[in-house]
Amino acid sequence: MEMKSRSNKRPLSCMALAVALALVPLSVPAADAGAADATIHPEFWPEVVPASKVDAAMEKKIQDLLGQLSVEEKVGQVVQGDIASITPDDVRKYRLGSIFAGGNSDPGGKYNATPAQWLALADAFYEASMDTRAGGHAIPVIFGIDAVHGQSNIVGATIFPHNIGLGATRNPELMRRIGEVTAAETRVTGMEWAFAPTVAVPQDDRWGRTYEGFSESPEIVASFAAPIVEGLQGKAGSPEFLDQRRVIVSVKHFLGDGGTTNGKDQGDTQVTEAVLRDLHGAGYPPAIAAGAQSVMASYNSFNGVKMHGNRSLLTDVLKERMHFDGFVVGDWNGHGQVPGCTNENCAKAFLAGVDVLMTPDSWKGHYNSLLAAVKSGEVPMARLDDAVSRVLRVKFRLDMFNAGKPSARVLGGKFDQLASPAHRAVARQAVRESLVLLKNNGGTLPLDPGKRLLVAGDGADNLSKQTGGWTLNWQGSGTVRADYPNADSIWDALQRQVEAAGGVAEMSVDGRYKQKPDAAIVVFGEDAYAEFQGDLPNLLYRPGDDTDLELMKRLKAEGIPVVAVFLSGRPLWVNREINASDAFVAAWLPGSEGGGIADVLLRSGDGKIAHDFKGKLSYSWPRDALQVLNNAGQADYSPQFPLGYGLTYAQSSPLAALPEISGVSGVQSVPGVYFSRGKPAPGLSLYLQHATQGHQTKASTLPAALPDDSLKATAIDHKAQEDSVRLTWSGKSPARAFFLSDKPIDVVRETNGDVMLMLALRPDAPAQGAVTLGVDCNKGCAGKQKLNEGLAKLKTGEWTTLGVPLKCLQKTGADMTRLDRPLILESDAAWQVSISRVSLGSGNEAQHVLACQ
């Protein structure tokens, strides 16, 4: 039965929506061959009654204030800048309505800034917005942040499992409590706005944001939407609604972000209107019915039409049909992808229904262009007034005009609330309930904590891996243990519980032990990632790297029972690893409470089962690495483990050996990695070339050199045998080394997202001449940057990581949509450098960042 509400029927209440959504089929194919039509029929979409009622007195205040504002002040209210590119003085001068902290934006540019520094920054922006000495009206600025699994940008905050794990709990009431904790810790540090929850319904697990979705099932997503909104905002109609312990939400990403073709982030969702509505739109009616105050537009397109420019969906469906009376915010420069737009100029997105364009570093250009568009009549004053009214409505509902500065509010500066015992208990419960037991042959689990246990694998004591992306920074990488002062790694928790029970716990990443253990727990999985960098070509786990598999096989061969704990942001093909273990646990990205894992894996001190497994798969598990469209409800549905699968300790049926044929032929590359382990990535080759004569040599094997020895490449050891290359310029003639791809590489999304080209390198000899780094597409579209100033800051003979912003290369002429040379190093004189890795990464991973020239 399709969920339809025609125009001649009464609007759906929250209860009716829940009933209707329960009848929606679990899943349908993500792409539809007949889905080219982008026409939308609003009358066939659900009509919603928001629980946040219109207040006549408040509406009069809004209109009275609106009537006093200049056009410049009105424009300021709908402009949002990132704290890395905006100052309190800018807010004071331009009367801006909102600011935000992007994934890599922090006070003072420090990813590990203290909570007090965050709060002081919030105060400074607030005070600037209320300062009218130079004219204008005092309208409090609202501060948004990606609090997507707790207030996860903040050092010391409670970090919850990512949504993929929460979906496995099947516990909507727990979502409400998680929302309450997240809201409280966000308020402690001065923000009023969480860019959450994500209600995507991911259909292709290659998508790098799969873990941000609760489930592939629209029913599960819909069941979580209202509770998490009510947890964050409070229950509409109650005294707690939007009080000083709550924040406003941004339900995201509207619409279809989880259905892009081939799982490509920011791609095209090619489905019918019915699939867009009933599957991808499942979470929005209950969220809006619960009183959601903002909705974030999505990067993706719907059948070729960019969502940031889709008036039919943003205005006709969301605002008019669903009666959403909050404001629509854009995503990071997402408006710039609308045809005919730039990051600085996009009246189309504003006219389509995006009320607040997220303009991180382009806010000033956007302010000026929107102001000009209003004055010229391109943007009607009525449209501007509508957008400003929506922003003011939310601010009045938050009582921001009477709240005072962030540090003076109820929770402002109460840093003892960050990861308080009560908050950590909620996170620990969430971890316990999220774990899914896929295999438990021979009753291997639960383990006796009084025995000798080996804990191995690179995920056991690795909080970056354990918490995943969107933790302290955008990609969740480049952090150290001290950045998580209130967290327990899985090793921390296991060691504590084992030793308390009189047992012995030994930690060894590579599994080499001092004394043979009674059992081994091997914790392994994906490294932290977020959008762009997380997209995959298939569902192979670590293609070309069998380190984890070999570790488990070795332990098994020694007669040691092996418990595998798999950390991942999606189901992956790990049949070989499952076969190599006696018990296998899908632990997802559990967050800061490793104790939740120890609680379930270990018996209590008296030998009883302390906590049983409760988690059930919220995503279907693949039978092979090419089973990327693997969703319940499909005609050809045949997963390895179906949606809803999950063993308990009461279930003892052994799992037979699984097929070990991945379905993928040939060597596979890891997205965003161009050189590692001493070799170019599959599809790339290393070349040496005379810069003036044009002669080139393909370095198929090392050593390799140009005929006149002006440039040579040799293999050297860094962390392993011949895992790096040394490039030596003799100075006889200018020469370059470059990687050539056998097909164009599109990194325009990464460029938009402030990704960097990362080089793990060691300067072995100072540059004697001009050195440049560049990219090219072999058709007059090169971009390059001078390296000498950056190299001068590096110590000769020491390994480091140098980051070069892709935007720097784009600004100097590179066409980032079709690179065939993703790295070119050129020197006109003597120079020597060793390189162990070339990849894409975020700024926090770089020890040195090259400034754009």
Q: Shortest CA distance to 43 belongs to which of 273, 253, 225?
A: 273
Sorted by sequence, the CB contacts under 8 Å of residue 509 that are 6+ apart come out as: 456, 457, 458, 460, 461
Q: For the CA atoms of 516, 521, 526, 530, what is the dihedral angle to 10 degrees?
A: -140
If you ran DSSP here, which 8-state letter would residue 441 be given? Answer: G
Task: Look up residue 489 and give its two tokens.
Answer: 């790694």
Residue-by-residue DSSP string for 61-76 = HHHHHHHH--HHHHHH
How many Cβ atoms sit within 10 Å of the Cβ of residue 272? 17
Q: Determine the residue type at 662.
A: S
Sorted by sequence, the CB contacts under 8 Å of residue 828 that are 6+ apart come out as: 691, 734, 769, 770
Alpha helices in 756-805 (DSSP H): 788-791
How many Cβ atoms sit within 10 Å of the Cβ of residue 783? 22
Interatomic CA distance for residues 238 and 398, integer angstroms: 13
Interatomic CA distance for residues 12 and 51, integer angstroms: 11
Grouping H, G, I as helix, E, B as strand and the rest as coil, residue 648 is: coil
Interatomic CA distance for residues 160 and 183, integer angstroms: 13
Interatomic CA distance for residues 772 and 311, integer angstroms: 45
Residues acting as catalytic residues: 331, 531
Q: Shortest CA distance to 216 belongs to which of 629, 638, 625, 534?
A: 629
* Residues 295 and 325: beta-carbon distance below 8 Å: no
Task: Look up residue 172 and give its two tokens.
Answer: 């909507």
φ and ψ at 377, to 5 degrees?
Answer: 95, -5
* Residues 261 and 268: beta-carbon distance below 8 Å: yes
Interatomic CA distance for residues 215 and 160, integer angstroms: 16
Sorted by sequence, the CB contacts under 8 Å of residue 372 that are 6+ apart come out as: none
Roughly how many angstroms between the first and final C-alpha of the chain, as a whole number?
A: 59
Q: Determine the residue type at 611.
A: H
Task: Look up residue 514 and give its two tokens.
Answer: 């001092």
* Residues 242 and 286: beta-carbon distance below 8 Å: no
Interatomic CA distance for residues 61 and 47, integer angstroms: 28
What is the b/e burial string over 581-610, where b = at least 16 CB atoms within 10 angstroms of the residue's CB? Answer: bbbbbbbbbbbbbbbbbbbbbbbeeeeeeb
Q: Shortest CA distance to 782 belongs to which of 809, 757, 804, 745?
A: 809
Q: Alpha-carbon torsion 672, 678, 682, 684, what sign?
A: positive
Q: Determine the residue type at 250.
A: S
* Residues 459 and 523: beta-carbon distance below 8 Å: yes
Q: Give whole-number Cα distances, 619 to 175, 210, 432, 646, in Å.
A: 18, 10, 18, 11
